[in-house]
Structure 1
Amino acid sequence: MTDSLGTTRPTDGNPAAPTTARGAQDVVTPDLVARLTRGVIGSGRTSNHTPLTGEQLADLPEATPDEVATAFERARAAQHAWAATPVRQRAAVLLRFHDLVLSRQSEVLDLIQLETGKARLHAHEEVQAVVMAARHYGRRAPAYLKPKGHGGAVPVLTKVVELRQPRGVVGQIAPWNYPFELSVGDALPAFAAGNAVVMKPDTETALTALWAREQLIEAGLPADVWQIVIGEGPVIGPALVEHADYVSFTGSTRTGREVAQRAAARLIGVSLELGGKNAMLVLRDADLDKAAEGAVRACFASAGQLCVSIERLFVDESVADAFLEKFTARTKALKLGTALAFGAGMGSLAGERQLETVSRHVDEARSKGATVLTGGQARPDIGPYVYEPTILDGVEAPMSVCTEETFGPVVSVYRFRDEDEAVERANATPYGLNSSVWTKDTRRGGRIGARLRSGTVNVNEGYAPAYGSVRAPMGGMKDSGLGRRHGSEGILKFTEAQTVATQRLLPMAPSMGMDDEKYAAFMSRSLRAMKVFRLR
């Protein structure tokens, strides 16, 4: 028997007190769907569903490849005026959007939960990430994009200014796992830089992206500057890359390679955040209680469906038993739930495909000798795609869970003898997105972190400090991607650098009666002098 949308249960099966149930029909009304899809291009029809119960959420417009081209035409026509808008006015739109999101957050929290199945606290992480990005680029975009003067070829005579021109229309492909943060959160710097965006969200999470678009338009973004097209990736994805001036993609490494190849054929830029098999290192001097609490957050937030979540846990053998006792107890105490309310420690997987992958990885590992310390079972009594948070011990190659990205609430435990071994084993993966190090000696943690081949490293936390520090770049090494979001790199990637050099008084050529030989000698003496005077 399946619980209503108002029940949470601990992983040991004991029911928790029910909260007031609210269902999908209470949130996703016909009026809401009509409002959010107004003006969205698409002559076909498709639908999405909530993983909390499996029921249909909304009937949505579905675009054809030709209609994707139409969306780009609209966006391109609107982009010119938007780019001509002073950057401070563009940035002010982001700040107004920041306030709208915070004041209406309950609306988007409901949509995120309904479309992804995640717990409400984990949905709130998306709200936090989006408003931090909006505030950051709302405040810093004018400085990032400000024309910069440089020393010219000839001091005094050559004046050089570096400008940042918008690329034009950005094609964005957003994933299902963080439908708010990885749609509008990634688009905000593109808008601030003067671009338009044509975005393809995952169909199952399209309502969240459409809600974000509605708020941004109310904040002052011209409606045609952000076009959303809905459809299956293999059908309309190629058209999006074909018409874009730049592509922003978040998703699997396999699909990311295909996107990169198509973009390369057109000689357009691309940024990719792809898969991960992220490692957490618990050193012998770690605070084990804090490390165990942190591991629960790092491994099971959003039911493990987070690109930067931890799937490999390396523990110093001298503290492994004590740590695992604490970690296992905290994991068993997590409450699983599907309520549209705070209180559950973990929600549902996003759908049948994720449930199949998680079940296959765990079942194979168990059959080949791994030990399930806790979890290891689907929970259809709570929701059709709910799976218990799972800790595996004794995992070895060639178990799939050892090397493949699970993207679910499953973590494998490995013991190590010294830190060199831990670093080597943590780096022994084609991925390099995120890492975590736990130690009471934070300087030592930083030194070890610098040896890990991942784009972000968190000391004494799982992923939130690095991701939430929006002034610093975030992205992956190796097969985990190209480019960065956040900070200066997160906005400058949406621009083309343009150098404007003005030559004054004398040409860059023989003049004042000099022949070629005298001009060459004069320039040689000048170059030596510039080195002596340390000119750059």
Structure 2
Amino acid sequence: MAIVEFLNTPAGARRRFSVKSPADFTPLGEYECADADDIARALAKARAAQRKWAEVPVAERAKAMLKVRDQILKAQDEIVAVVIRETGKCLAEALGMEVYSTLDSMSYYSRRAEKVMKPRRVPLHGPMALMKKVTLVPRPLGVIGVITPWNGPFVLSMGYTVQALLAGNAVLLKGSEVTPASTLMVEKVFRDGGFPDGLLQVVTGDGLTGAALVESGVDKISFTGSTATGRKIGEMCGRLLIPCALELGGTDAMIVCDDADVDHAAAGALMGSCMNAGQVCIGTQRILATPGIYDALTERVAAQCRTLRQGAAFGAEEDVGPIIMDRQLTIVERHVEDAIAKGARLLAGGRRNPNLPGLYFEPTVLADCTADMLVMREETFGPVVAIRKVADEEEALAVANDSPNGLAGNVWSRNERKAFDLACRMETGSVSVNDMALTYGLQEAPFGGRKASGIGRGNGADGLLNYCHMMPVVANRFGNAKPSGAYPYTAKHVDGLRKAIKFFWGSALGRYFQ
């Protein structure tokens, strides 16, 4: 059963769609798709609001953001309820991923915004240092288009939106058509928190709405989603000559060395593969274990996997929710069937849960996986633990890097020096040692992918600057000095340049001054 269905609408009317719960197919509501005219009106409103907002002191912007944070704290039960209705997440993940992470991010960036956005002097070198001074001034880009997916509909919408707003921009936010109410909750908490009108506006709709947003004249696009859609958006932004940040899919590898703590590694493998029902871009997809630990790891993972609980009561004692999107469930099934057909051993799960009405797929363990299996080559995005035996750590590293993607990864060993060295050699955006999928939740760590997992970065200590133009302002060091060059050119100018070149790069004393 389709989660999103487009409705028959009269010619000339806005397209409409309905949404159902992936947990039990309960109808959740109907929504309109914003068109190009709707987005143009929203953009005009955003530009007017942004011009005023850019002149508000950063400290005052931060105070306004902290009021929104406090509103989220008050409304956390409502937010969790909306997210669970649309995604079926278990309570612990809805509260932890969507609310806790959002509050942490808002506090971190609000408390540090004034320092990060402060203009700073840059020391010059050479003779110009005697005459000029340079100050780098972060200036907002204008209006940012933020496009987010369905697997973390509140937290992923809030993260880059908060950074863009604190940097002095306005935001037009377009969430997935699978989770429109969760995205509209973002707009609601900003409104209820007293945030200035027009600075954050949500537009609902599908891919056509997203394309219209990219084409609308915004000053940057921040997109989180699939690699296929990211390529299209990147091509559009290139044609329009606007910057973009693309956080795309991953086939993240977990390297487990012989000397790893097998219990810890098994717990990490299961959590990395099954949290949020496997629908996490930095979750673990390919587990590469060396011979001395392979059998023990496989047995422990399978035993623990069989204890995971699924249910639709959304209480505190459920572990794995449903697949959020019906098309995604088809991909998960295809990957598991392909692996079994090619010789993988099925140790747990492997099917839709027959005892639940929605899009629940049983947590699954596949052993003896090989390179030709889809589960080892493409993003599965489901609760599937796929384990492959490798000859040694060097082969594990080679296999981990043999992927078109490079978003995240993790390495497990009691020898932290060795684990660190392996981690540094992984061709991926970020790596955790003896843990998994930590990077996005650490605000200080820049986040983004390599290869086909994206371009650009988000988060990080200087995350706000990703939404700024760093403008150098050059001025005289000493009052009303003459310009550094003036017409007409003469032989004296040319002779002076030759002498300067000879002194600064042709003599030991000159090179010292450089």
- Structure 2: runs of 5 or more not aligned: 1-12
Candidates 125, 130, 133, aligned match of 2:102: 130
Distance verdict in 2 for CA 1:510–1:92, change over 3 Å:
same
Output the aligned Cα RMSD: 2.1
Is residue 497 of structure 2 the alignment partner of residue 520 of structure 1? yes
CA distance in 1, matches of 2:513, 2:103: 43
Deviation at 1:522, TM superposition (A): 5.9
Contact 1:47/1:204 (CA < 8 Å) preserved in 2?
no
Partner residue, 2:355: 381
Q: Could you tell me whether the CA contact under 8 Å between 1:436 and 1:460 is conserved in 2?
A: yes
Distance 2:268 2:446 in 1: 23
- Deviations 1:416-460 (CA, angstroms, capped at 9, x unpaired): 221111100111100000101111122221111001111110111
1:510 CA displacement: 6.3
Segments of 4+ moved more than 6 angstroms? none
Partner residue, 2:10:
none
The letter of the residue matching 2:359 is Y
1:279–1:435 contact (8 Å) kept in structure 2 = yes
What is the identity, as a one-letter code, of the residue corresponding to 2:482?
L
Please state how far the C-alpha of 1:388 moved relative to its aligned partner: 0.5
- Is residue 503–residue 510 contact of structure 2 (8 Å, CA) maintained in 1? no
CA offsets per residue over residues 171-208 of structure 1, 9 Å max, x none? 11110011011111121100011111111111221211
Residue 149 (structure 2) aligns with: 175
- Verify: 1:150 aligned to 2:127, yes or no: no
Q: Would you say 1:86 and 2:57 are equivalent positions?
A: yes
Conservation of the 8 A alpha-carbon contact between 1:47 and 1:203: no
Q: Which amino acid aligns with 2:212?
A: A
- The answer to whether 1:435 aligns with 2:409 is yes
Q: Which residue is 2:394 aligned to?
A: 420
1:209-254: CA deviations, max 9, x gaps? 2112221233342221111111111x22221111211000011111
- Of all paired residues, the percent bearing the same amino acid is 36
Aligned to 1:498: 471
Q: CA deviation at 1:467?
A: 2.1
> Alpha-carbon deviations, 1:74-133, whole Å to 9, x = none?
111111011111111112222222232233322111111111122121222222221121
Select 1:267's aligned residue among 210, 229, 241: 241
> Which residue of structure 2 lines up, in the alignment, with residue 445 of structure 1?
419
Q: Is the 8 A contact 2:287 2:388 kept in 1?
A: yes
Give CA-to-partner distance per residue, 1:142-179, whole Å, 9 cap, x none: 22211111234612421211111111111111100110
| Match of residue 13 from structure 1 | none
Task: Choose the corresponding residue for 1:292, options 255, 262, 266.
Answer: 266
Name the counterpart of 1:15: none
In the alignment, which of 475, 478, 482 is matched to residue 455 of structure 2?
482
* Alpha-carbon spacing, 1:219–1:533, altered in 2? closer, same or farther (3 Å): farther
Structure 1: unaligned runs, 5 residues or longer: 1-41
Equivalenced residues, count: 492
Say if 1:249 and 1:256, in contact at 8 Å, map to a contact too.
yes
Tell me the alpha carbon deviations over residues 279-324 of structure 1, each in whole angstroms, 9 at most, x when there is no partner. Answer: 1111111111111112111110000000011111111111111111
Cα gap change, 1:506 to 1:309, in 2 (>3 Å): same
TM-score by length of 1: 0.87
3-state SS in 2 of match to 1:301: helix
- Separation in 2, partners of 1:135, 1:305: 26
Deviation at residue 488 of structure 1 after TM alignment: 4.1
Whole-angstrom CA distance in 1 between matches of 2:464 and 2:357 = 40
2:134 corresponds to 1:163:
no
Match of 2:229 among 232, 255, 260: 255
Structure 2 length-normalised TM: 0.91
Aligned 1:335-374 pairs, distance under 5 A = 335-374=309-348
In the aligned structure 1, how far is the partner of 2:508 from the partner of 2:88? 63
CA gap 1:527/1:220 in 2 versus in 1, 3 angstroms: farther
SS in 2 for 1:224: coil
1:509 touches 1:519 (CA, 8 Å); kept in 2? no
The amino acid across from 2:308 in the alignment is L
Secondary structure at 2:285 match in 1? strand
